[in-house]
Structure 1
Amino acid sequence: MNGGTQRTRTYSYNAVLLVGGILFIFAAIFFIALLAQGEETQRALLDLSGQVLGPALAATIAWSGVSRTIRNHRRQEILKDWHANVRWACEAYQNAKDDVGQELAVAILGTLDSHPELEEPEQALIDAVLNSIMLNRQS
């Protein structure tokens, strides 16, 4: 595998930055609490961080899991539609009555070849279909 699409890598990087930012805020509040002179101020700062940042970190982790699930589901739906379109274009090529219909089907397959969500297996599939068509046309 090539590590996923560019969007997946960007999303993972952004999630790491978000969690890192929240942890940095935790550390900053603890540092300020250590520098505070009064014990009452230290308790107030630590209590604030526990009441506000704790749930914020939990919500961020939950959001990360849910958004990843939604993103994967959306990608599966896109690929399902892509496969249906490839199947339709192949059938249109086979059932074409003239060269214009075949050229239209090949043009549609060429357009499907440049879909941004494609990874290695899908690229190999569409390339094999197009190569098969080109070999068939040369015969």
Structure 2
Amino acid sequence: MYKHLLVPTDGSKLSNDAVERAIQFAKETGATLTALHVMPEYIPPAFAEFPAAGQASFAEFMKATEETAKTILDAANQSARTAGVACETVSVRHTQPYRAIIDVAREKGCDLIFMSSHGRRGLSALVLGSETNKVLTHSSIPVLVFR
């Protein structure tokens, strides 16, 4: 059975539901958990596809994304600890979240990636792509998708 789960979270409701289910799964199987939040890279306004008026400075962006990651991961860690599940938290910056998910799973020795589907349907799934689909396509580590 699985011993070490990686659960990526972006703080959305669906993602938080997947974290809670991953914690239950880990508790039932005696596995440990690594919660991951992938922070976006800073894109200078001159290089942004659609520059936003009043875009945050580099320092503001870095601080805000780090604070967001801490809040999201602290909540996941607290839920795991309350359930009696050992949990490590990791935040990384990457331009391709799916690649970061796979890389961290390998680095941490995870034997299952437990992630939400993010519920994209129809044309938006084709146009925008899905990080979950990319992980499913590129990961050699088993992936459990929670809906």
TM-score by length of 2: 0.28
Between 1 and 2, higher relative CO (CA 8 Å, sep ≥ 6) is seen in: 2
Larger proportion of helix:
1
TM-score by length of 1: 0.29
